[in-house]
Amino acid sequence: MPYKHDYDKILTRLTIILSRMNDGEALSVTELAKEFNVSERTIQRDFNERLIHFPIYQAGKSWKMQKGFRLEKSASIEDAVVLDILEGLVDGSSGFFAKRAKRLLSKLKNEEYNPIYAKLDLEDISDRLHEIQQLESAIKSKKQISCNYLIESYIKKLDLKPLKIVNYQGFWYLIALDARNDLLKKYYLKNISEIKIHDAAFTTDAKLEDALENALSIWFEKDREPVTVKLRIGSAIAKYFKRKPLSKAQKIINDQEDGTLIVTLPITHEMEIIPIVKYWMPHIRILEPEWIAERIDRDVREYQKRKEK
């Protein structure tokens, strides 16, 4: 009997398929296509690509879960998938933090096998767990802090309004407002010490929250008016920008027949986008604004000149 819910959403469909295979059912591609009102090709792609990391196999015209693989203690199959992804992220990092997180995750699962692995090149901050705990407490309660900050060879005293702990390009930072003038600043987390949480509270506005949410890198700025960047993305890499947008504000404005994408997104500093474009060259180019495209062209020419010397 077909389900009455909207099963066109991929996550919902995959969750139901996994749940039924977990219950021992052998599932037919043809029957599933009719049930979820999608093509057989879509269901086949579910098994061959989207569920490839799970221990499933094809037996004749049906798909089954391998014996011995169970997801019994999780509240739902969807929860189990999320736990697998989280454990995969932890497996990709290192240090005491990763080991501790892995032990905590293992308490929520009843099987040792995790089919998902994600390699993340994250800086080890296991020696800063106490400071991180203090910062998290201050961020959640919106309380001001004072701390020491190591700048090259001397210590500077800071009074801050902590906003967010972030990771950009593998390095950890504290994003905070200077309590004296409310200027937004970024601090390398491992250089912060002697944190004291004060009773003084602070508030944030929607504009600041949006800036933090849409930031592409540590270069973003709070007080600069966002500039909309338009990118032409070649067909060779277009799928990656569909799978993982550069930011939540990324918009696909033209998905061309040859596979090329035209996308737009806001930035507050040119260095938010320039390293990304250089990384993906020659498959990506800035269409607007022209001055950023010209700067990249100059950098490339300068690089070629130095290379030729």
How would DSSP label each residue in 137-187? HHHHHTEEEEEEEEETTEEEEEEEEEEEEEEETTEEEEEEEETTT--EEEE
**What angle, rounded to 10 degrees, do the helices at 77-91 and 10-22 form?**
100
* CB distance 238 to 261 below 8 Å: yes
The DSSP 8-state label assigned to residue 281 in this structure reads T
Q: What does the mean pLDDT of the chain come to?
A: 81
**C-alpha to C-alpha distance for 84 and 113, rounded to whole angstroms:** 9
Higher pLDDT pick, 12 / 109: 12
Q: What is the mean pLDDT of residues 8-18?
A: 75
Six token digits for residue 215: 């930031």
Supply the pLDDT for residue 73: 41
* CB distance 259 to 235 below 8 Å: yes
Q: Which residues, other chains included, contact 102 with Cβ-Cβ below 8 Å and sequence gap of 6+?
A: 87, 90, 91
Summarize pLDDT for 120-147 with one digit per residue, the tens: 667 888 788 888 889 988 998 999 999 9
Supply the pLDDT for residue 4: 40
Q: What pLDDT band is residue 3 in, cutting at 50, 70 and 90?
A: very low
The amino acid occupying position 242 is K
Through-space distance between the first and last CA atoms of the chain, rounded to whole angstroms: 73
Q: What pLDDT band is residue 116 in, cutting at 50, 70 and 90?
A: low
Q: What is the CA radius of gyration of the chain?
A: 24
**C-alpha to C-alpha distance for 271 and 299, rounded to whole angstroms:** 13
HSE at residue 125, side-chain half, CA atoms within 13 A, is 23
What percent of the chain is predicted at pLDDT more than 70? 78
Higher pLDDT pick, 3 / 229: 229
Query: pTM value?
Result: 0.57
Supply the pLDDT for residue 115: 55
Summarize pLDDT for 60-82 with one digit per residue, the tens: 888 988 776 665 544 455 666 66
Domains in the chain, CATH or no CATH each: 10-65 (1.10.10.10), 74-122 (no CATH), 127-204 (2.30.30.520), 227-308 (3.30.70)
Q: Which residues, other chains included, contact 307 with Cβ-Cβ below 8 Å and sequence gap of 6+?
A: none
H or E, element range at 67: none
Supply the pLDDT for residue 21: 85
